[in-house]
Amino acid sequence: MNVRSWFSLSRMKCSSRWNWFAPLRDAEFDVLGPAGSVADAFDLIKTERPDAAVLDVRLGTERVPVAAELKTLGVPYVIASASHPSELASEPVLSDVANLGKPTDLDRLVRVMQAFCR
C-alpha cells in the first residue's frame, strides 16, 4: 500500500506518539510529521500532500486551520481528541468528522486510515 498519512500530535507525550506510528508503519503507511504547530502542519501539507490525516484538534491555541485546509484540499481526516463532542460540534469543519478519542484504539485507527486510502 503506497499511501501517506499525516499526523498532528502536538499534545501527545512522546512515548504515546511513537505508539501511534508503529501500527501505521506496520500497515505500510508512510507517516509524515508530526507537526507541533499550525505553521509546521502547513509546511508539511505544502511539501507533500497527504492522502489522509488524523488530527489532534488543538495545535497550540488554534483549533481549526489545519482541518479547514485539509477539507479545502479534499484530504479525508479523522480527529483523535479528548474534547467533548459538544465542543467539536461548535466548529463546522469538525462537527461532521469522526473522533477516535483518546486514548485511541490503534487497531481502529489503522482500519480507518486504510478505508480512506482505498
Name the grid cell of 74. 479534499
pLDDT, tens digit, for every residue of 35-53?
A: 878 888 899 888 888 888 8
pLDDT of residue 44: 87
Q: What is the 3-state secondary structure (H, E, C) of 10-77?
A: CCCCHHHHHHHHHHHHHCCEEEECCCCCHHHHHHHHHHCCCCEEEECCCECCECCHHHHHHHHHCCCE
Give mean pLDDT, residues 2-7. Answer: 46
pLDDT of residue 3: 45
CA distance linking residue 56 with residue 52, whole number of Å: 14
pLDDT of residue 59: 63
pLDDT of residue 71: 93
pLDDT, tens digit, for every residue of 85-95?
A: 898 899 899 99
